[in-house]
Amino acid sequence: MAIKLKELAGKPERLAPGHRFCSGCAEPIIIRQILNAIEEPVVVGMATGCAEVATTMFPTTAYNVPWIHNAFENAATTISGAEAMYRSLVRQGKIPERDIRFIAFGGDGATYDIGLQFLSGALERGHRFIYVCLNNEAYMNTGIQRSSATPRGAATTTAPAGSVIPGKVQWRKPLTDIIAAHRIPYVAQAAPSRWRDLMQKARKAAAADGPSFINVYASCNRGWRHPTDATIDITKLAVDTCYWPLFEVENGVWKLSYKPREKKPIEEWLKTQGRFRHLFQPQFRHIIGEIQAHIDEEWENLLKKCEA
């Protein structure tokens, strides 16, 4: 499953240029990396969200592969239905069998929140498909509202920071752990800053004999309030602070993908983004310590799971 740059450079693009993503958005980087990593023919399903509206504004499309759009919440249902239809038509002898991969993309709002029951059902039924969460930690497409992926302390339009409330007061939902509890063949966390790791995980997901899930960290400069040229650096800091650890669960076995030589303090990551600016005020600075303690606890628990 080695990723060779020379081979990738010669492959035709499955996500064409000319889309409408914001400058500095991590999502097109992630989508290109995943689609270019998978060698088999693909069918893509996509939930309503930033990636959908930025790539398929009628009457155009940026996709050079079959692409399906459905509602915000049911991308997993739609792509699993396409996969089931394909298998049925092959069994009936109506179409020839091909080694096709079915992929669904959804944002954190569509995945962590309103699409979770649809995703859980598709995983339980055992459809062979890949679900990719483009996790930018809020409902960015509809106005930067908080989701259950939004971290504690982040300011959003529905969890604003004020003189009393320090942005979102809850911790983020541990979705990757929740998906791993479904005991599907392959689950992973990834980030575009470590592109080779992400692409290798995409290939593992494509090779899995059943459903697979990849939660990918997708910086949003508009919602996170950082310069457009800082996307990859901020994503890398999220990994190096262990806020967003990289790991995979293959057939129930937890494996750490990356362990930083020096675990950086979370303050270094927080100060890069305007959504956390208020935490550096005297009345809220104690929350930074709470966030650090929470991350340290989660990191130690992950090391135990991975026996690393």
Contact 4, 62 (CB under 8 A): no
> What is the distance between the alpha carbons of residues 102 and 124, in angstroms, rounded to a whole number?
16
Buried b (16+ CB within 10 A) or exposed e, 173-187: bebbeebbeeebbbb
Side chain identity at residue 59, one-letter code:
P
Q: Cis (ω within 30 of 0) for the bond into 59? A: yes
What pTM does this model have? 0.96
- Give 45-93 pLDDT, tens digit per residue: 999 999 999 999 889 999 999 999 989 999 999 999 999 999 999 999 9
* 3-state secondary structure (DSSP) of residue 240: helix
Which of 134, 269, 247, 272 is CA-nearest to residue 194?
247
Contact 217, 172 (CB under 8 A): no
- pLDDT tens digits, the chain, 308 residues: what are they? 678 777 787 789 999 988 999 999 999 999 999 999 999 999 999 999 999 999 998 899 999 999 999 899 999 999 999 999 999 999 999 999 999 999 999 999 999 999 999 999 999 999 999 999 999 999 999 999 999 999 999 999 999 999 999 999 999 999 999 999 999 999 999 999 999 999 999 999 999 999 999 999 999 999 999 999 999 999 999 999 999 999 999 999 999 999 999 999 999 999 999 999 999 999 999 999 999 999 999 999 999 999 86
Contact 132, 267 (CB under 8 A): no
Amino acid 308: pLDDT: 67
Which of 301, 93, 131 is CA-nearest to residue 208?
131
Q: Spell out the domains of the chain, with CATH numbers in brackets.
A: 11-306 (3.40.50.970)
> What is the distance between the alpha carbons of residues 238 and 80, in angstroms, rounded to a whole number?
32
Give the strand pairing for 247-250 and 186-190. Answer: antiparallel
| Helix pair 27-37, 195-207: axis angle to 10 deg | 50
